[in-house]
């Protein structure tokens, strides 16, 4: 299929079937974006069932090296452009200094660091071409401070924040702006499985998505390098 003539901006979103990714997809679609959704299991995102041709899903497995370039190429072929890349696909495993395997650590870095790196690298020429490309990396407050012993997850999120700053530097002169979104607990299925905090006390994914959409909409002269969002009081966050 050739590129569409519609000039509405295009956002690529990984992990769009998750709680946060789905909320961001709905928010960006409401704001006028066409969506390229990279998912492993083809299915519709809740709330976007009637969006029609404004949304296209592509197979994307964050652990497979070649999938990043393939997804980017298919997005450009279908839509003709890429304006925004949102890296929402993520993995969580427990890897402490005493527990967890080398395979667990590799799995965390494969999904949380290497996958965003590959997507950014593949999409960067298109993001530069549009003059105001945006990269959103869903990191975590675990990428800003250490509050428990899950060092594997924390290292992967610290690395993702570092990647975000590298993107800002690499793309700045061409209008590319990158933001690391660093939330605490967000009301998702994953949080429900691992957190002791009641779900109703966590950040609403729709509120986080609204913040992401606002950051994406800012001009090139109002760059937000990191956005820290917390549902509980911490002295620094």
pLDDT tens track for 206-221: 999 999 999 999 999 9
Quote the tokens at residue 186.
Answer: 């967000």
Judge contact between 187 and 180, C-beta under 8 A. Answer: no
What is the predicted pLDDT for the residue at 50?
67
What is the predicted pLDDT for the residue at 221?
98
Length of the chain: 237
End-to-end CA distance of the chain: 47
Q: What is the CATH code of the structural domain delimited by 10-229?
A: 3.40.50.720
Helix ranges, the chain (H): 19-30, 67-79, 102-109, 115-129, 151-171, 189-194, 205-217
pLDDT tens track for 162-177: 999 999 999 999 999 9
In 3-state terms the chain splits into helix, strand, coil percentages (rounded to 5) of 45, 15, 40
Q: What's this model's pTM, rounded to 2 decimal places?
A: 0.93
pLDDT tens track for 23-67: 999 999 999 999 999 998 867 777 787 666 799 999 999 999 999
Buried b (16+ CB within 10 A) or exposed e, 116-155: bbbbbebbbebbbebebbbbbbbbbbbbbeeeeebbbbbb
pLDDT tens track for 13-32: 999 999 999 999 999 999 99
Catalytic residue among 33, 92, 117, 153: 153
Q: Which of 43-52, 185-194, 223-232 has the highest mean pLDDT?
A: 223-232
Catalytic-residue membership of 60: no
Is pLDDT at 147 greater than 70 in this prediction? Answer: yes
């Amino acid at each position: 299929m050739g590129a569409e003539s519609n000039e509405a901006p295009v956002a690529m979103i990984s992990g769009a079937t998750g709680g946060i990714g789905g909320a961001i997809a709905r928010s960006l679609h409401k704001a006028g974006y066409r969506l390229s959704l990279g998912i492993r299991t083809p299915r519709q995102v809740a709330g976007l069932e009637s969006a029609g041709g404004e949304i296209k899903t592509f197979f994307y497995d964050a652990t497979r090296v070649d999938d990043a370039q393939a997804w980017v190429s298919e997005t450009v072929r279908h839509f003709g452009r890429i304006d925004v890349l949102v890296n929402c696909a993520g993995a969580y495993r427990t890897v402490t200094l005493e527990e967890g395997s080398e395979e667990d650590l590799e799995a965390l870095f494969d999904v949380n660091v290497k996958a965003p790196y590959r997507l950014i690298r593949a999409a960067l020429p298109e993001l530069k071409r549009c003059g105001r490309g945006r990269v959103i990396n869903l990191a975590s407050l675990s990428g800003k401070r250490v509050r428990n012993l899950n060092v594997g997850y924390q290292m992967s999120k610290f690395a993702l924040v570092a990647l975000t700053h590298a993107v800002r530097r690499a793309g700045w002169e061409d209008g590319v702006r990158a933001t690391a979104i660093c939330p605490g607990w967000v009301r998702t299925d994953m949080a429900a499985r691992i957190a002791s905090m009641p779900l109703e006390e966590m950040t609403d994914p729709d509120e986080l998505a609204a913040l992401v959409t606002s950051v994406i909409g800012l001009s090139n002269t109002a760059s937000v390098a990191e956005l820290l969002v917390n549902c509980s009081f911490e002295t620094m966050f």
